[in-house]
A and B are shown apart, each in its own frame.
Chain A
Amino acid sequence: MRGQGLRVLVVDANAHIRRLIATLLGALEITDVSEARSPSAAASVLAEHRPDLVVVDWTNDPVETLLFVHRIRRGEGADRQVPVLALAASTHHAVLEEAREVGIDDVIAKPISAVDLIHRAAALLDERVNGRMALGAAAQ
């Protein structure tokens, strides 16, 4: 897929991980990447940046992250349909179940595999772009 014109928000406390993800997204030709150190700091970025994908660390402050996603799904300051990819400590079935319940679209376990991250980001962005095209076609 080609990600030109798409926007991604990366939320992680660690600057090196944020930089890693932003750099890797370049492989999908995505250059419009905004960053936030925490879910609370991300709230204003979300409203301003209107991302097509949110990549959020779920290990630093799990409760704050869940509240952040919950607010997105309620449409607070964001498109409630924006896909969310979470970086978790594990992909144990209980984690995946909790993710599904709160509205996280996909989960990757840390330490992340760069190729896996990009594959999953591409899949979520692809679904979003195709969903938009389908909506546009239906409106016509």
Chain B
Amino acid sequence: MSDRAAKKIGDDATLRVARMVERLSDEYAAVLAAETGRMETHLARMRAAPEDGDAPRAMFRIAHDIKGQAATFDRPLAGAVAGRLCGLLREAAPGDVSSETIAAHVALLRRVVDDRLRGAIDADGAALLERLDRAAGLR
């Protein structure tokens, strides 16, 4: 972004944008809760039929959406969790990734929703991500 562009928009518009993002971030709580609920449904499907590839594919799509949106709406921890899940599921065949590993990611998303975790990833958030990576065998 150039200084020229910033000057053209002006402080008022920048302030308006900040207010709009704040409002939309509040509204995103419901979206993230619904998406996490869908994740939990697909996880249950996956556990019931591990050979079925539809549930992991659906989970990948949801995780991909969350990865692309959550940080914009002040939930970077949810974005980081979803990004990790995307990475695990992207090329995976059914059964490649254990349901326990996926469940750990979904559980952390649920925690973000239930505890209303917002803002930059702090030391606690970093520790949760580290634990998640260990569970996935990435550390």
- Residue ranges of A at the interface with B (Cβ–Cβ < 8 Å): 1, 14, 16-17, 19-20, 23-24, 26-28, 59, 110-116, 118-120, 122-123, 126
Q: Per-residue 0/1 for B15-32: is the Cβ within 8 Å of any A Cβ (1 yes, 0 no)?
A: 011101100100010010
* Interface of chain A, main secondary structure: helix
Chain B contact residues, CB within 8 Å of chain A? 1-2, 4-6, 8-9, 13-14, 16-18, 20-21, 24, 28, 31, 65, 67-72, 79
Q: Is the CB of B9 within 8 A of A1?
A: yes
Choose one: A16, A23, A122; the contact of B20 (CB below 8 Å): A23
B12 to chain A, nearest CB (A): 9
Q: Which single residue of chain A is at the shortest CB-CB distance from B6?
A: A119
Q: Knowing A14-B65, A111-B68, A116-B1 touch, does A26 contact B20 (C-beta < 8 A)?
A: yes
What residue in chain A is nearest B31 (Cβ atoms)?
A16
From B8, B13, B20, B79, contact of A123 by CB (8 A): B8
Complex CA–CA separation, A27 to B26 (angstroms): 18
Are B72 and A111 in touch, CB under 8 angstroms?
Answer: yes
Taking a contact as CB atoms under 8 Å apart, the answer to whether B17 and A110 are in contact is no
Once A16-B69, A20-B24, A111-B68 are accepted as A-B contacts, the answer to whether A27 and B17 lie under 8 Å apart by CB is: yes
Residues of B within 8 A of A17 (CB): 68-69
Taking CB atoms, residues of chain B closer than 8 Å to A28 are 9, 13
Are B13 and A118 in touch, CB under 8 angstroms? yes
Cα–Cα, bound, A63→B31 (Å): 28
B76: shortest Cβ distance to chain A, in Å?
8
CB closest residue in chain A, given B23: A23
Which chain B residue has the least Cβ–Cβ distance from A20? Answer: B24
Q: Known: A14-B65, A24-B20. Is A115-B14 also a contact (CB below 8 A)?
A: yes
Chain B nearest CB: distance from A47 CB in Å? 28
Q: How far is the CA of A1 from the CA of B14 in the complex (A)?
A: 11
Q: A27-B13, A27-B17, A114-B21 are in contact. Are A120 and B8 (CB under 8 A)?
A: no
> Which one of A24, A111, A123 has the highest number of Cβ atoms from chain B below 10 Å of its Cβ?
A111
Q: Which of B2, B8, B17, B79 has the most CB of A within 10 A?
A: B17
Q: Which of A20, A23, A24, A123 contacts B2 (CB 8 A)?
A: A123
Offer 29 A-B interface pairs, CB within 8 angstroms, sorted by A. Answer: A1-B8, A14-B68, A16-B28, A16-B69, A17-B68, A19-B24, A20-B24, A24-B21, A27-B13, A27-B14, A27-B20, A28-B9, A28-B13, A110-B68, A110-B72, A111-B67, A111-B70, A111-B79, A114-B20, A114-B21, A115-B14, A115-B17, A118-B9, A119-B9, A122-B5, A123-B2, A123-B4, A123-B5, A126-B8
